[in-house]
Each structure stands twice: as C-alpha cells, then as structure tokens.
Amino acid sequence: MARRSEVGTAVEIQGVRDVICELEIIKRLLGDGKGAEWDKRVRALRKCKELAILVAGAEDQNLLVVFINGLRGLRTQIAAQVGDLRSAVVREACENLASMAECLGDQFGECLGDVIIPALLKTSAVTIQVISESGAEAMRRVLNSSRMPPSVNVSLVQGAGRKNANATRSAVAEYIGIILDRHPRSELDKSVGLLEHAVHLGLIDQLAEVRRRSRKNFCIFEIMYTDRAAALMKGLDEITQRAIKEEKGEGDIAPSPQKVRESARRRSVMPSTQAEPLANGKKIAPRAKTR
C-alpha cells in the first residue's frame, strides 16, 4: 500500500484499481478544462501530482503504466489550466506540472510534452509578472527534468520568429539553450535543422538579450555540429561573428572602424535585399539591429 497526503488531496493506492479510481476523480474535478470551479481544478492538479509521486516510487511498475495511460486522456484538461485567467490556478498548474516532470522524467515529455510546452511558452511571455514567472520557472524545471519529443522543438522554433513578442523570443532563446545542453546528440539529430534555424534567428535578433543568449547557444551547438556551425558562422555579418568570438574568448583584435561601418550599412539594407525563411515556410525580411 502506498499513501501520500496534502490538505484536501489525500491519495491512497493498493493496486491498479485504486490508480484508475483516482484518475476518474481527477477527471471529474477538472471537468472540461476551464468550466469547473477553480478550487476543484486546483485540487485535481494537486491530486494528480501526489498520484504521480506515488506511482513513480512504487515497486509495482504496472501502477506507473496505468497512470501514464490515464494521463494521456487528461492532456487537454491539464494543459488548459496553464492558460487559465486566474493566477492562482496558473501557479498551481505550473508548480504541479514541474513536480510531475521531475518525478516522471522522460515519460512526462512523451505523454504531455507536445501540449504542455506550447502552453508554458505562451504563459511565460504574458505581461502579468506573477504568471509569466510561474510559467518560465516551470518550463526550466520541465526541460531540465524530461526530454521532449522532436515535435516540441517545432513550437519553440516558431516562437523564435520575429513576429513574436520580445518576451517570447527571449524565453525561446533560453529554452533552446537548455535543450542543447540537456539532450544527447542522438535526440538532437532528429531536429538539428530546426535548432540551427532557431540559433540563427537568435543571433540576428533585434533584441540584445536574445542575441546574448543565442551566442551561448551557438557555442554549445558548435561543439556537437562543427560543420553546421562553421557554415552558419560564414553567413553572419562581421559584428555578429566578432561577438561570437568574444563569447568564446577568441576576440582580441577589434575590427577596423571602416569594417564596422560597412557591416552596419549592409545590415541596414537587409530588409530590402535579403529575406529569411521561417519554420512555416514563409519569408520575412530581417530588421536591422545593433549590438
């Protein structure tokens, strides 16, 4: 028998039947995702976390299998809580999802990654600070604890596009760094083109914070994909190349003022002379940026 309890969310299981029963209670409390009373949805989120912790540590692995299968049927309802209008619900959703990722590991990513990551990305970029901070912290914990399927990288790369808000692009640059650092190359190979594109977009972004994070991402990317990184480097303007070399500790000689002016002039005319492909196949013209 396994038992775990928080206020109002006592969970006790002795076998597979108890796991199924608890999942039914969670489903009933969540309702259709947002229509149920918010305090019931909070209880459901807490109960889901408690159940995840119990089955992850149980000797009978059948309990975990049953829980994961049941969790798949709650994907939409759980993801909806991350985008709720009540900050209390969002905080609970983010905290409990992050805790679930930490105890379930890669199985969390396989089960919920494709619906939770886009929801957390959207939440981490909202203007309400208490909500954005909850979303950003949850995203960090989830990505550091659980590997995501390649399809998740698509949503992140789309978030790096220039039509997105500054906060979204900055968050994406940070999360791409976590993925590059956390995932083994065998996993990254499945979406290396998307990741390379995201790094490239970040390096030429108009926001200094995005460029700074993307230079760090480039350094990690270069370690694993030397040839791709070299080709990417050649296509960058001199100022961006210089900044990357400084990031790697190789920048000892400053470029001449003439070259700086020429580089700035080339970038200033980029919108009318060069378009950049996005993940969805469309093209938009890059904006001029300053370092």
The DSSP call for residue 103 is H
C-beta atoms surrounding 126 within 10 Å:
17
152 or 286: which carries more pLDDT confidence?
A: 152
Is the domain of 40 the same as that of 118? yes
Tell me if 218 is assigned to some domain.
yes
Quote the tokens at residue 288.
């001029």
Is the domain of 55 the same as that of 74? yes
Is the domain of 5 the same as that of 58? yes
Q: Residue 83 in 3-state DSSP?
A: coil
Q: For residue 163, name the pLDDT band (cuts at 50, 70, 90).
A: confident
Q: How many domains does the chain have?
A: 2
In this prediction, residue 171 carries a pLDDT of 93
Is the domain of 134 the same as that of 163? no
Interatomic CA distance for residues 210 and 174, integer angstroms: 8
Tell me if 65 is assigned to some domain.
yes
In this prediction, residue 21 carries a pLDDT of 95
Q: For residue 277, name the pLDDT band (cuts at 50, 70, 90).
A: very low
Is the domain of 19 the same as that of 98? yes
Tell me if 47 is assigned to some domain.
yes
87-115 burial, b if ≥16 CB within 10 A, otherwise e?
eebbbbbbbbbbbbbbbbeebbbbbbbbb
Lowest mean pLDDT among 12-26, 58-72, 276-290: 276-290
Is the domain of 7 the same as that of 122? yes
Please say which residue of 146, 174, 202 terminates a domain.
Answer: 146
Is the domain of 138 the same as that of 196? no
pLDDT digits (tens, 9 = 90+) for 231-248: 999 999 999 999 999 998
Residue 175 is which amino acid? Answer: Y
Is the domain of 7 the same as that of 135? yes
Tell me if 281 is assigned to some domain.
no
Please say which residue of 231, 249, 267 terminates a domain.
Answer: 249
pLDDT digits (tens, 9 = 90+) for 75-122: 999 999 999 989 999 999 999 999 999 999 999 999 999 999 999 999
Is the domain of 15 the same as that of 131? yes
Percent of the chain with pLDDT over 70: 81
Tell me if 259 is assigned to some domain.
no
User: Which residue matches tokens 């985008």?
Assistant: 83
Cut 0.95: pTM above it: no
pLDDT digits (tens, 9 = 90+) for 4-46: 544 445 677 889 999 999 999 999 999 876 667 899 999 999 9
Please say which residue of 146, 171, 186 terminates a domain.
Answer: 146
Nearest CA among 276, 277, 273, 219 for reference residue 243: 219
Nearest CA among 89, 107, 100, 87 for reference residue 31: 89
In this prediction, residue 264 carries a pLDDT of 47
Residue 94 Cα distances to 80, 154, 182, 262, angstroms:
11, 22, 20, 47
Are 112 and 73 in contact by the 8 Å Cβ rule? The answer is: no
In this prediction, residue 251 carries a pLDDT of 52
Look at phi and psi of residue 106 and say left if phi exceeds 0, alpha if psi is from -120 to 50, else beta. Answer: alpha
Tell me if 134 is assigned to some domain.
yes
Which residues lie across from 4 on neighbouring strands?
11
Domain that holds residue 179: 153-249
Mean pLDDT of the chain, nearest integer: 84
pLDDT digits (tens, 9 = 90+) for 115-155: 999 999 999 989 899 999 999 999 999 999 998 888 887 88
Is the domain of 27 the same as that of 111? yes
Query: Is residue 278's pLDDT more than 50?
Result: no
User: Which residue matches tokens 């989120």?
Assistant: 45
Tell me if 287 is assigned to some domain.
no
Is the domain of 200 the same as that of 227? yes
Is the domain of 157 the same as that of 142? no
Tell me if 7 is assigned to some domain.
yes
Query: Is residue 285's pLDDT more than 80?
Result: no
Interatomic CA distance for residues 142 and 140, integer angstroms: 6
Assign residue 234 the CATH number of its domain: 1.25.10.10
Residue 238 Cα distances to 8, 202, 241, 265, 288, angstroms:
60, 16, 5, 12, 14
3-state per-residue secondary structure call for 128-183: CHHHHHHHHHHHHHHHHHCCCCHHHHHHHHHHCCCCCCHHHHHHHHHHHHHHHHHC
In this prediction, residue 105 carries a pLDDT of 95
